[in-house]
Copies of this chain bind each other. A is one copy, B any other.
C-alpha cells in the first residue's frame, strides 16, 4: 500500500531488510546517547528493556516514544504496530536462547538434565514465556532442547513415532510446568483452599499426606520428581534406577 517498511509484516517473516543504518550518535546528554535518527533496533532495544523491567503490559506506544524521545508515530514507521513490535521482540529473544548440552551417564539422566536446563532457561526470561505463550508460539520454546532430546531418546533405543512422542512429551511437560509455575509466582497467595483444607480424615487417614497437600509447593522439587517419573515411563522401566530415584526406599 505504501513504502512503509512495516508492511514487511505481510511478507514472510524474513530478515529485517533495513536496520543496517543504525543509530547515528551525535553527542551525549547526561550520559545518554543523542540520536539524530531512530533505527528499528533502537525501538526494539528500548522496548525489550521496558518489557524486561515491568512486563509486556507496561509497554505502551506512547510510553516507548517518551523513552526514546520521539513522536509516537515514528515508532509506527519502524515497527508497524504494537502487535508486530512484540512479535519481533519475542522472535529476537527466542533466537538468543542457546542450545542445551545434556549431562549425565545414562540417556535417561541426560534427558532429565536437558529438561531441567530448558526449564531454567525459560524461568530466566519470565516475561518471555508469557509473551510467547500469548502469541501462540509455544512450540518455539521447544526448540533449544529439541535436538538434544532427539539424540538422547534415540540413544535410549526409541525409534520412529514412538521416539517423536517421547521428545514431545518431555517438551510439553517442561513448557507446561513452567507456565503453571510462572502463574503461581504472580499470585503467591493462592487463596487458602476455602474448600476444606486437607485433614487426616479427608486424606485417607494419612497425616503426612494431608500436611503435604495443605502445605506450600516447592516447584523445583516437584518438577524434578515429575520429569524423572515421566522419563522413566517413556524410556522404559529401570531407566532412572541407576541414578537413584528422588526418594530413598
Chain A residues packing against B (C-beta within 8 Å) = 13, 133, 135-139, 143, 146-147, 150-151, 154, 159-169, 172-173, 175-180, 183-184, 186-187, 190-191, 194-195, 198, 202-204, 206, 208-209, 212-213, 217, 221-222, 225-226, 228-234, 237-238, 240, 246-247
- Could you tell me if B206 and A138 are in contact, using CB atoms closer than 8 angstroms? no
- How many Å lie between the Cα of A58 and that of B212 in the bound state? 40
- How many Å lie between the Cα of A145 and that of B173 in the bound state? 19
Given A137-B187, A147-B202, A165-B225, output 14 extra A-B contacts at Cβ < 8 Å. A13-B194, A133-B183, A136-B184, A150-B204, A154-B204, A154-B206, A159-B209, A161-B208, A169-B226, A173-B177, A173-B230, A229-B234, A230-B233, A233-B240
Chain B residues with CB below 8 A from A229, complex form:
166, 169, 230, 232-234
Given contacts A167-B213, A204-B154, A209-B160, contact A226 B137 (CB under 8 A): no
Copies of this chain: 2
Residue of B nearest to A165 (CB): B225
- Could you tell me if B222 and A172 are in contact, using CB atoms closer than 8 angstroms? yes
Given contacts A163-B209, A234-B229, contact A138 B184 (CB under 8 A): yes
Quick one: which of B136, B139, B167, B175 contacts A176, CB cutoff 8 A? B175
- How many Å lie between the Cα of A191 and that of B150 in the bound state? 20
Residue of B nearest to A247 (CB): B162
- How many Å lie between the Cα of A138 and that of B178 in the bound state? 12
Q: How far apart are A179's CB and chain B's nearest CB, in angstroms?
A: 5
Interface residue SS majority, chain A:
helix
- Could you tell me if A139 and B230 are in contact, using CB atoms closer than 8 angstroms? no
Chain B residues with CB below 8 A from A176, complex form:
172-173, 175-180
- How many Å lie between the Cα of A230 and that of B240 in the bound state? 13
Given contacts A172-B222, A187-B137, A233-B232, contact A150 B209 (CB under 8 A): yes
14 pairs, CB–CB < 8 Å, chain A vs chain B: A136-B186, A138-B180, A139-B184, A154-B209, A159-B209, A161-B208, A161-B212, A172-B176, A172-B180, A172-B226, A176-B180, A229-B232, A230-B233, A233-B240
